[in-house]
Amino acid sequence: MSWLLLTIISVVFRSVYGIMTKVLSNRLSVSVYTQASLLSFSGGVLSVIISPLIGGIHFGHMSLLIVALVIAGQGLGNVAYFSAIKNLTNSTAQIAFSSILVFNTVLGLTFLSLHLSALNVFGLILLMLAILSVITGKIELHRKGVVWMLLAAFLFAVFQLASAQLSKQVSAATYLIIAYFGAAAVVPLLKWRVIAGDIQKANLSIIRIPLLTALPSLGNFLFAYYAYRSAPQPAKVAMLLTAQVVLTVALSYFFLREKSHVLRKASAAALVVVSAIFIKS
Protein backbone atom coordinates (compact mmCIF):
# COMPACT_ATOMS: atom_id res chain seq x y z
CA MET A 1 0.00 0.00 0.00
CA SER A 2 1.44 3.41 -0.98
CA TRP A 3 2.33 6.01 1.64
CA LEU A 4 -0.20 8.41 0.10
CA LEU A 5 -3.09 5.97 0.50
CA LEU A 6 -1.96 5.18 4.04
CA THR A 7 -1.98 8.90 4.82
CA ILE A 8 -5.46 9.43 3.36
CA ILE A 9 -6.85 6.54 5.41
CA SER A 10 -5.20 8.00 8.52
CA VAL A 11 -6.85 11.36 7.79
CA VAL A 12 -10.28 9.72 7.60
CA PHE A 13 -9.72 7.83 10.85
CA ARG A 14 -8.53 11.01 12.60
CA SER A 15 -11.62 12.91 11.48
CA VAL A 16 -13.93 10.15 12.70
CA TYR A 17 -11.98 10.07 15.95
CA GLY A 18 -12.60 13.81 16.37
CA ILE A 19 -16.34 13.23 16.02
CA MET A 20 -16.31 10.28 18.42
CA THR A 21 -14.41 12.17 21.13
CA LYS A 22 -17.12 14.83 21.07
CA VAL A 23 -19.79 12.11 21.31
CA LEU A 24 -17.91 10.56 24.23
CA SER A 25 -17.64 13.95 25.94
CA ASN A 26 -21.36 14.65 25.47
CA ARG A 27 -22.81 11.25 26.32
CA LEU A 28 -20.49 9.87 28.97
CA SER A 29 -21.40 11.75 32.13
CA VAL A 30 -18.15 11.23 33.98
CA SER A 31 -15.11 13.41 34.67
CA VAL A 32 -12.58 14.23 31.96
CA TYR A 33 -10.06 12.13 33.89
CA THR A 34 -12.29 9.06 33.59
CA GLN A 35 -12.97 9.78 29.91
CA ALA A 36 -9.25 10.04 29.17
CA SER A 37 -8.31 6.96 31.18
CA LEU A 38 -11.06 4.74 29.73
CA LEU A 39 -10.26 5.80 26.17
CA SER A 40 -6.57 4.97 26.61
CA PHE A 41 -7.34 1.66 28.32
CA SER A 42 -9.72 0.69 25.50
CA GLY A 43 -7.05 1.53 22.94
CA GLY A 44 -4.61 -0.67 24.84
CA VAL A 45 -7.01 -3.62 24.84
CA LEU A 46 -7.55 -3.30 21.08
CA SER A 47 -3.79 -3.04 20.56
CA VAL A 48 -3.21 -6.33 22.42
CA ILE A 49 -5.86 -8.04 20.27
CA ILE A 50 -4.25 -7.00 16.97
CA SER A 51 -0.63 -7.15 18.19
CA PRO A 52 0.18 -10.48 16.42
CA LEU A 53 -0.67 -8.77 13.11
CA ILE A 54 1.56 -5.74 13.60
CA GLY A 55 4.89 -7.08 14.77
CA GLY A 56 4.07 -8.62 18.13
CA ILE A 57 4.98 -7.33 21.58
CA HIS A 58 8.72 -7.12 22.26
CA PHE A 59 10.09 -4.95 25.06
CA GLY A 60 13.74 -4.61 24.19
CA HIS A 61 16.13 -1.69 24.51
CA MET A 62 14.20 1.56 24.96
CA SER A 63 15.03 5.03 26.22
CA LEU A 64 13.17 5.45 29.52
CA LEU A 65 13.04 9.21 29.03
CA ILE A 66 11.40 8.80 25.62
CA VAL A 67 8.90 6.30 27.06
CA ALA A 68 8.07 8.70 29.90
CA LEU A 69 7.48 11.56 27.44
CA VAL A 70 5.21 9.39 25.27
CA ILE A 71 3.15 8.30 28.28
CA ALA A 72 2.91 11.76 29.86
CA GLY A 73 2.17 13.48 26.55
CA GLN A 74 -0.61 11.05 25.66
CA GLY A 75 -2.12 10.77 29.15
CA LEU A 76 -2.08 14.43 30.17
CA GLY A 77 -2.83 15.50 26.60
CA ASN A 78 -6.06 13.49 26.63
CA VAL A 79 -7.14 15.12 29.90
CA ALA A 80 -6.53 18.59 28.48
CA TYR A 81 -8.23 17.62 25.21
CA PHE A 82 -11.43 16.41 26.90
CA SER A 83 -11.40 19.47 29.16
CA ALA A 84 -11.37 21.59 25.99
CA ILE A 85 -14.00 19.88 23.86
CA LYS A 86 -16.64 19.97 26.57
CA ASN A 87 -16.47 23.77 26.27
CA LEU A 88 -16.10 24.10 22.48
CA THR A 89 -17.88 22.91 19.36
CA ASN A 90 -15.98 20.10 17.70
CA SER A 91 -15.05 22.01 14.54
CA THR A 92 -13.68 24.95 16.54
CA ALA A 93 -11.82 22.58 18.85
CA GLN A 94 -10.09 20.80 15.95
CA ILE A 95 -9.06 24.07 14.33
CA ALA A 96 -7.62 25.26 17.65
CA PHE A 97 -5.85 21.92 18.02
CA SER A 98 -4.00 22.69 14.78
CA SER A 99 -1.77 24.91 16.92
CA ILE A 100 0.15 21.65 17.40
CA LEU A 101 2.02 22.67 14.24
CA VAL A 102 3.32 25.74 16.06
CA PHE A 103 4.41 23.71 19.07
CA ASN A 104 6.02 21.08 16.83
CA THR A 105 8.03 23.85 15.21
CA VAL A 106 9.06 25.36 18.56
CA LEU A 107 10.15 21.95 19.88
CA GLY A 108 12.01 21.30 16.65
CA LEU A 109 13.87 24.60 17.00
CA THR A 110 14.71 23.82 20.61
CA PHE A 111 15.69 20.14 20.47
CA LEU A 112 16.27 19.20 16.83
CA SER A 113 18.26 22.21 15.57
CA LEU A 114 15.47 23.04 13.13
CA HIS A 115 15.98 26.13 11.00
CA LEU A 116 13.07 28.27 9.78
CA SER A 117 12.82 29.83 6.34
CA ALA A 118 10.73 32.86 5.43
CA LEU A 119 8.06 30.50 4.03
CA ASN A 120 7.95 28.59 7.32
CA VAL A 121 7.39 31.82 9.26
CA PHE A 122 4.68 32.87 6.80
CA GLY A 123 2.95 29.53 7.33
CA LEU A 124 3.02 29.97 11.11
CA ILE A 125 1.45 33.41 10.75
CA LEU A 126 -1.30 31.99 8.50
CA LEU A 127 -1.98 29.24 11.03
CA MET A 128 -2.35 31.71 13.90
CA LEU A 129 -4.72 33.81 11.79
CA ALA A 130 -6.80 30.73 11.02
CA ILE A 131 -7.10 29.84 14.71
CA LEU A 132 -7.86 33.42 15.75
CA SER A 133 -10.60 33.68 13.12
CA VAL A 134 -12.70 31.03 14.89
CA ILE A 135 -11.90 31.60 18.57
CA THR A 136 -12.57 35.34 18.57
CA GLY A 137 -15.42 37.54 17.51
CA LYS A 138 -18.96 36.22 17.41
CA ILE A 139 -18.25 32.57 16.67
CA GLU A 140 -16.99 31.14 19.89
CA LEU A 141 -14.95 32.91 22.51
CA HIS A 142 -14.62 30.45 25.34
CA ARG A 143 -11.27 31.26 26.86
CA LYS A 144 -11.18 28.27 29.18
CA GLY A 145 -11.83 25.83 26.34
CA VAL A 146 -9.27 27.49 24.07
CA VAL A 147 -6.58 27.48 26.77
CA TRP A 148 -7.19 23.79 27.46
CA MET A 149 -6.94 23.00 23.74
CA LEU A 150 -3.69 24.93 23.38
CA LEU A 151 -2.31 22.96 26.33
CA ALA A 152 -3.50 19.72 24.72
CA ALA A 153 -1.78 20.69 21.45
CA PHE A 154 1.50 21.34 23.30
CA LEU A 155 1.34 18.03 25.17
CA PHE A 156 0.57 16.09 21.99
CA ALA A 157 3.43 17.88 20.23
CA VAL A 158 5.72 16.48 22.95
CA PHE A 159 4.03 13.10 22.45
CA GLN A 160 4.65 13.20 18.69
CA LEU A 161 8.28 14.21 19.07
CA ALA A 162 8.91 11.37 21.53
CA SER A 163 6.86 8.91 19.45
CA ALA A 164 9.02 9.57 16.39
CA GLN A 165 11.99 8.34 18.43
CA LEU A 166 10.24 5.43 20.15
CA SER A 167 8.82 4.07 16.87
CA LYS A 168 12.42 3.51 15.70
CA GLN A 169 13.17 1.34 18.75
CA VAL A 170 10.11 -0.92 19.01
CA SER A 171 7.46 -2.63 16.88
CA ALA A 172 4.15 -0.94 16.09
CA ALA A 173 2.33 -3.19 18.58
CA THR A 174 4.79 -2.44 21.38
CA TYR A 175 4.60 1.28 20.67
CA LEU A 176 0.78 1.30 20.80
CA ILE A 177 0.65 -0.70 24.03
CA ILE A 178 3.14 1.62 25.71
CA ALA A 179 1.27 4.71 24.51
CA TYR A 180 -2.23 3.49 25.41
CA PHE A 181 -1.69 1.53 28.63
CA GLY A 182 0.91 4.00 29.84
CA ALA A 183 -1.53 6.87 29.39
CA ALA A 184 -4.31 4.87 31.03
CA ALA A 185 -2.06 4.29 34.05
CA VAL A 186 -0.74 7.83 34.46
CA VAL A 187 -4.14 9.59 34.54
CA PRO A 188 -5.39 7.82 37.70
CA LEU A 189 -2.32 9.14 39.50
CA LEU A 190 -3.99 12.55 39.28
CA LYS A 191 -7.58 11.70 40.26
CA TRP A 192 -7.91 8.03 41.13
CA ARG A 193 -10.73 8.62 43.63
CA VAL A 194 -12.78 10.48 41.03
CA ILE A 195 -12.21 7.76 38.42
CA ALA A 196 -13.08 4.97 40.88
CA GLY A 197 -16.29 6.77 41.86
CA ASP A 198 -17.30 7.28 38.23
CA ILE A 199 -16.77 3.61 37.38
CA GLN A 200 -18.76 2.38 40.39
CA LYS A 201 -21.90 4.29 39.39
CA ALA A 202 -21.61 3.87 35.60
CA ASN A 203 -23.60 1.69 33.20
CA LEU A 204 -22.50 -0.29 30.13
CA SER A 205 -22.03 2.88 28.09
CA ILE A 206 -18.84 3.49 30.05
CA ILE A 207 -17.39 0.47 28.22
CA ARG A 208 -19.13 0.74 24.84
CA ILE A 209 -18.47 4.40 24.00
CA PRO A 210 -14.73 4.44 24.85
CA LEU A 211 -14.23 1.23 22.83
CA LEU A 212 -15.99 2.73 19.80
CA THR A 213 -13.91 5.89 20.17
CA ALA A 214 -10.67 3.92 20.50
CA LEU A 215 -11.23 2.16 17.16
CA PRO A 216 -10.65 5.23 14.93
CA SER A 217 -7.89 6.38 17.30
CA LEU A 218 -6.08 3.09 16.76
CA GLY A 219 -6.67 3.28 13.01
CA ASN A 220 -5.25 6.79 12.89
CA PHE A 221 -2.14 5.79 14.84
CA LEU A 222 -1.49 2.66 12.79
CA PHE A 223 -1.90 4.11 9.31
CA ALA A 224 0.05 7.26 10.20
CA TYR A 225 2.81 5.05 11.67
CA TYR A 226 3.18 3.06 8.44
CA ALA A 227 2.79 6.15 6.27
CA TYR A 228 5.71 7.82 8.06
CA ARG A 229 7.83 4.70 7.71
CA SER A 230 7.16 4.21 3.98
CA ALA A 231 7.11 7.82 2.77
CA PRO A 232 10.27 9.04 1.00
CA GLN A 233 9.71 12.43 2.65
CA PRO A 234 7.94 12.09 6.05
CA ALA A 235 7.32 15.85 6.12
CA LYS A 236 4.78 15.35 3.32
CA VAL A 237 2.83 12.94 5.51
CA ALA A 238 2.72 15.47 8.35
CA MET A 239 1.53 18.13 5.91
CA LEU A 240 -1.25 15.97 4.44
CA LEU A 241 -2.45 14.83 7.87
CA THR A 242 -3.62 18.39 8.57
CA ALA A 243 -6.33 17.84 5.95
CA GLN A 244 -8.29 16.11 8.71
CA VAL A 245 -9.36 19.57 9.88
CA VAL A 246 -11.36 20.19 6.70
CA LEU A 247 -13.01 16.76 6.84
CA THR A 248 -13.76 17.18 10.55
CA VAL A 249 -15.57 20.47 9.94
CA ALA A 250 -17.69 18.75 7.25
CA LEU A 251 -18.46 15.74 9.45
CA SER A 252 -19.32 18.00 12.39
CA TYR A 253 -21.84 19.79 10.18
CA PHE A 254 -23.62 16.58 9.17
CA PHE A 255 -23.31 14.41 12.29
CA LEU A 256 -23.08 16.87 15.17
CA ARG A 257 -25.38 19.51 13.65
CA GLU A 258 -22.79 22.26 14.06
CA LYS A 259 -24.33 24.62 11.52
CA SER A 260 -23.38 28.03 12.86
CA HIS A 261 -20.72 30.06 11.02
CA VAL A 262 -19.93 27.11 8.77
CA LEU A 263 -18.36 29.21 6.01
CA ARG A 264 -15.90 30.89 8.36
CA LYS A 265 -14.99 27.58 10.01
CA ALA A 266 -14.49 25.92 6.62
CA SER A 267 -12.33 28.82 5.46
CA ALA A 268 -10.25 28.60 8.64
CA ALA A 269 -9.84 24.84 8.16
CA ALA A 270 -8.67 25.34 4.58
CA LEU A 271 -6.25 28.02 5.78
CA VAL A 272 -4.82 25.54 8.29
CA VAL A 273 -4.00 23.15 5.44
CA VAL A 274 -2.42 25.92 3.37
CA SER A 275 -0.36 27.07 6.35
CA ALA A 276 0.85 23.48 6.89
CA ILE A 277 2.21 23.45 3.33
CA PHE A 278 4.37 26.48 4.09
CA ILE A 279 5.39 25.25 7.55
CA LYS A 280 6.50 21.88 6.21
CA SER A 281 8.09 23.22 3.01
Flag whether pLDDT at 267 surpasses 80: no
**pLDDT confidence of residue 178:** 93
What is the chain's mean pLDDT, rounded?
A: 83
Determine the Cα angle at 148 with ends 144 and 150, to 5°.
Answer: 120
pTM for the full predicted model: 0.85
Across 227-242, average pLDDT: 75
Rounded alpha-carbon distances, angstroms, from residue 61 to 52, 110, 183, 226: 20, 26, 20, 21
Q: Please tell me the predicted confidence (pLDDT) of residue 50.
A: 94
Interval 238-263 mean pLDDT? 76
Least reliable range by pLDDT among 80-84, 132-136, 262-266: 132-136
Measured distance CA(132)–CA(243) in Å, rounded: 18
State the sign of the Cα–Cα–Cα–Cα dihedral 125, 249, 71, 84: positive
pLDDT at 277 over 50: yes
Helix 143-166 / helix 90-97 crossing angle, nearest 10 deg:
50
Q: CA–CA separation, 187 vs 189, rounded Å? A: 5
Residue closest to 262 by CA, chosen among 117, 140, 124 = 140
CB contact at 8 A, 140 and 96: no
Map residue 98 onto helix, strand or coil. Answer: coil
Residue 234 near residue 103 (C-beta atoms within 8 A): no
d(C-alpha 78, C-alpha 32), whole Å: 8
Range 156-175 average pLDDT: 85
Q: Which of 82, 117, 81 is nearest to 100 (CA)?
A: 81
Percent of the chain with pLDDT over 90: 27
User: How far apart (Å, rounded) are the C-alpha atoms in residues 146 and 42?
Assistant: 27
| Residue 113: per-residue pLDDT | 67
Residue 30, pLDDT > 90, answer: no
What pLDDT, on a 0 to 100 scale, did the predictor assign at position 139? 44
Closest by CA to 218, choosing from 28, 66, 40, is 40
254 or 152, which is more confident?
A: 152
* Confidence band of 92 (pLDDT split at 50, 70, 90): confident
